[in-house]
Structure 1
Amino acid sequence: MQICMNWDEIAFDWNHVRAFLATVEEGSLSAAARATRQAQPTLGRQVAALEEALGVTLFERVGRKLVLTPSGAELVAHVRTMGEAATRISLAASGQSQSVAGLVRISASDVTAAFILPNLLRALRQRAPELEIELIADNNLSDLQHRDADIAIRHVRPEQPELIARKLHDDTASFYATHAYLEAAGRPAQLSDLNALDFIAFFDTEALITHFNALGMNLTKENFRLSSNSGVVGWQMVCAGLGIGIMSDRVAARAPEVVRVLPSMEPLSFPTWLVSHRELLTSARIRLVYDYLAKGLR
């Protein structure tokens, strides 16, 4: 069954379309209402209004579930294509227009904020010079639901349905130390040799010990005489030759004074997610920054 209608004759309301798509994606009116932060009756009325405007039935109820009718299933493909095209047009216009202005707050770990983002932000400023960027260097997860930030770069996937998360890549990290430290302390030939060396703790020492020992090491607090709640400070201690630290291979490549410890050891892998609130991504300036970071961080 195909939908044949004159779109010029329809009073088209994109709020109704968003309600329809949210219901499709979430599987029920109640879940869609939570995802869009609306009352369920309001969202139900929007879906019903779209059905009335189009003159078709979009859902049928099977038990407690809403199931798309053939007309509804066909409409999903149409409105998603239209929505994606509208977003591309908006972003293209935003990238060219000087009217893309205002504040965008980006939250990231201090290591990412210090070593990864500045070069990206320089190019972004050239593209949209009227943007105001506030970079929040915080190793705790920012509360995007309460708008502590507009966009967050995280290494864990959010669980809240109101948040949109895009996985960018799996990054790698390895153990590093300076030539001078390894010459003085002795270059390890195998994993057990690390148990006699000094480590720099970033953030939670106990958590690091647990994580490293799960790799087959046997470290104690005696190995961690130096620590910092800042990844940047901890990394600078590694670069100063005070001990061994774990760091993103991408960041460590910028420090010629360090080398990988046990280069034959498989690097550790961790994901990078780009996160924002569902409602905020309707803002032209936030969507512009979000998509720009998604491309640049890859």
Structure 2
Amino acid sequence: MASDIEWELYRAFLGVLREGSLSGSARALGVAQPTVGRHVAALEKALGLVLFTRSQTGLLPTEAAFALRPHAETMESTAAALERTASGLRGGAGSVAGTVRISVSEVVGVEVMPAIVADLAQRHPALKVELVLSNRVHDLLQREADIAVRMTAPRQEQLVARRIGAIELGLHAAPAYLARRGAPATLADLGNHALIGYDRPTPFVRQAAKALPGFTRDRFALRTDSDVAQLALIRAGAGIGVCQVPLAMRAPALVRVLPDAFAVRLDTWVTMHEDLRASPHCRIAFDALAAGLEDYTGGARSAP
């Protein structure tokens, strides 16, 4: 087996995996379809493996392809991180230029990050920001992102972390909804209300649900796994749901219900790989993100 396989071959492999066809991969990668076909064939020859089989619906990955996928994606993340690091070095020593990739949950990314990023862009116009909105924890050690906002303390020694406070969750409803249906006085009263919640439970949801027995999927009149969609439904007056308290106080303001019966506090951390501590553009972005989120949570600042 060849030991000097070019990255472009793996890039084509990932493109076909994601798009399901040579033509789809070619469009996504911006290259000609025959080029993708040659790259996939060359990779199969170099590895001595069949990666795809043809079907009426396109190219189907083999078990070998699925086994190789995470390793190819790690290569992809590393290549992207290399380019981001190089973009910061091209501006010269001390220059705040380059690209930084930030991973945050979708609701924080939509509701909190825009103002932070806008201020950062105004102060450092040569800085480019890639904002990844996902509730999945991106691997900073594999450089899937440069900086991440997490609701759990990082345990890897190679990460720099700053605790920026705790975000409290509570039950909320729009004033219009409460005007129609009234406010629940006890947890038992929630049975007479339209509840907004998840569709598929995650480990975090299971943990949070312990603080509110009975707040289960079968009780929800409206179900979605999107935190942004849940917030929009609460604001629209569709029912009662869980919302971050700082967000609920923003216009249009929501009303908190049963605060003594349900309150969950999420310790929030900003983290990055320690190798990026000396990178001016990553450090500037880290500090700006931490400061903006500390203002949002009201947490006390502390240097990493």
Question: For the superposition of Structure 1 and Structure 2, which TM-score range results when normalised by the shorter chain?
Answer: 0.5 to 0.7
Residue in 2 that maps onto 1:240: 236
2:151 is the alignment partner of 1:147: no
Residue in 1 that maps onto 2:219: 223
Kept after mapping to 1: 8 A contact 2:211/2:264 = no
Deviations 1:79-133 (A, max 9, x none): xxxxxxxxxxxxxxx9xx7x31110011100111111111111211121110001
C-alpha spacing 1:184/1:292, structure 2 compared with 1 (3 Å): same
Given the two structures, how large is their TM-score scaled by the length of structure 1? 0.62
**How far does residue 260 in structure 1 lie from its aligned partner after superposition?**
0.8
Residue in 1 that maps onto 2:280: 284
**How far does residue 229 in structure 1 lie from its aligned partner after superposition?**
2.4
C-alpha spacing 1:102/1:136, structure 2 compared with 1 (3 Å): same
Kept after mapping to 2: 8 A contact 1:151/1:274 = yes
Residue in 1 that maps onto 2:109: 113
Aligned residues: CA RMSD: 2.4
C-alpha spacing 1:210/1:134, structure 2 compared with 1 (3 Å): closer
**How far does residue 165 in structure 1 lie from its aligned partner after superposition?**
1.5
C-alpha spacing 1:245/1:113, structure 2 compared with 1 (3 Å): same
**How far does residue 167 in structure 1 lie from its aligned partner after superposition?**
0.7
The 1-side partners of 2:270 and 2:113 are apart by: 13
Deviations 1:195-252 (A, max 9, x none): 3322222464476875565335324433213222221111101111222111111111
Instruction: Name structure 1 gaps, 5 residues minimum.
Output: 1-93
Kept after mapping to 2: 8 A contact 1:106/1:150 = yes
One-letter amino acid matched to 2:109: A
The 2-side partners of 1:209 and 1:296 are apart by: 26
Given the two structures, how large is their TM-score scaled by the length of structure 2? 0.60
The 2-side partners of 1:241 and 1:216 are apart by: 22
One-letter amino acid matched to 1:272: T
Residue in 2 that maps onto 1:196: 192
One-letter amino acid matched to 2:228: V
2:253 is the alignment partner of 1:254: no
Kept after mapping to 2: 8 A contact 1:157/1:273 = yes
Residue in 2 that maps onto 1:49: none
2:163 is the alignment partner of 1:163: no
2:100 is the alignment partner of 1:104: yes
Kept after mapping to 2: 8 A contact 1:155/1:270 = yes
**How far does residue 186 in structure 1 lie from its aligned partner after superposition?**
3.4
The 2-side partners of 1:109 and 1:206 are apart by: 14
**Residue identity (%):** 36
Deviations 1:121-180 (A, max 9, x none): 121112111000111111110111111110001111122222221111112121111223
Give secondary structure in 1 for the equivalent of 2:277.
helix
Instruction: Name structure 2 gaps, 5 residues minimum.
Output: 1-90, 295-304
C-alpha spacing 1:206/1:107, structure 2 compared with 1 (3 Å): closer
Residue in 2 that maps onto 1:30: none
Kept after mapping to 2: 8 A contact 1:203/1:231 = no
2:129 is the alignment partner of 1:133: yes
The 2-side partners of 1:126 and 1:140 are apart by: 29
C-alpha spacing 1:212/1:164, structure 2 compared with 1 (3 Å): closer
C-alpha spacing 1:203/1:165, structure 2 compared with 1 (3 Å): farther
The 2-side partners of 1:243 and 1:165 are apart by: 37
The 2-side partners of 1:261 and 1:229 are apart by: 22
Residue in 1 that maps onto 2:37: none
Kept after mapping to 2: 8 A contact 1:205/1:227 = no
The 1-side partners of 2:280 and 2:154 are apart by: 23
C-alpha spacing 1:270/1:237, structure 2 compared with 1 (3 Å): same
Kept after mapping to 2: 8 A contact 1:194/1:217 = no
Deviations 1:19-49 (A, max 9, x none): xxxxxxxxxxxxxxxxxxxxxxxxxxxxxxx
Give secondary structure in 1 for the equivalent of 2:109.
helix
Kept after mapping to 2: 8 A contact 1:209/1:219 = no
